[in-house]
Chain A
């Protein structure tokens, strides 16, 4: 699976949009971009994933660049409860190969403040 690069930490004011970048310049054509977050000492929580089109769900939006070498997770109105470590993971679709394994990097520590 391709390697990802994320900033170590970011701050965001409550109520503002949090934009978390991820670089995955070596991504292959059959690799998806997944985002998880881990609130302190809890199990990781799935947020969203995509292949090449932008995706949106009730939690967040995922914007993937046209060349797919980077992506941005957007939390439209961050709250204090969004403070967590956010992981960007690139992996092959398990249905076609890769065995569904997730390789976690160090992620971005997002701190939402008043």
Chain B
């Protein structure tokens, strides 16, 4: 496995603002993913972020709302833009290592007031 860290671990934000979440891995990985987990719900994939290409978004998620950067093989950011209370969730990044297995970061707990 790998050591995956996320910053911030939690935040409380005001409606209409934006928050950028960072995901750092201690080894180089090609595939990274961003997920959202709304309160009491399961995880939903937001997008796939591969280094050297544009992020691929799942149905229901758009780049204007969730812009993603992937500047190198160990780092990615997800921005939650123009936030509303409905964006209150845990946001998680994951990476693919070894024989095709995904490993997850600890998550960022976001509360929007």
> Interface on A for B, CB 8 Å cutoff?
34, 41-46, 49, 87, 93-95, 99-107
User: Are B106 and A43 neighbours in the complex by a CB distance under 8 Å?
Assistant: yes
| Chain B: number of interface residues, binned into ranges | 20 to 34
Contact between chains at A44 and B100 (CB < 8 Å): no
- Given known pairs A94-B100, A100-B96, A100-B102, the reply for A44 and B43 (CB within 8 Å) is yes
Interface presence of B101 (CB below 8 A): yes
Q: Is the CB of B107 within 8 A of A43?
A: yes
B82 to chain A, nearest CB (A): 26
Q: In the bound complex, do residue A46 and residue B1 qualify as a contact, i.e. CB atoms below 8 Å apart?
A: yes
B18 to chain A minimum Cβ distance, whole angstroms, is 23
Residue of B nearest to A96 (CB): B100
With a cutoff of 8 Å between Cβ atoms, the chain A residues found around residue B105 in the complex are 43
The secondary-structure label for the interface of chain A is loop
Is residue B25 contacting chain A, with contact meaning CB distance below 8 A? no
Contacts A43-B92, A94-B96, A99-B48 given; does A104 touch B104 at CB 8 Å: no
Q: In residues 1-48 of chain B, which contact A (Cβ within 8 Å)?
A: 1, 4, 31, 33, 42-45, 48
Selected from A41, A45, A100, A107, the residue in CB contact (under 8 A) with B31 is A100
- Interface flags for B62-84 (1: CB within 8 Å of A; 0: not) read 00000000000000000000000
Given contacts A41-B107, A42-B106, A43-B92, contact A100 B43 (CB under 8 A): no
Known: A101-B33, A102-B102, A107-B42. 5 other contacts (CB 8 A): A42-B106, A45-B104, A94-B96, A100-B33, A100-B48
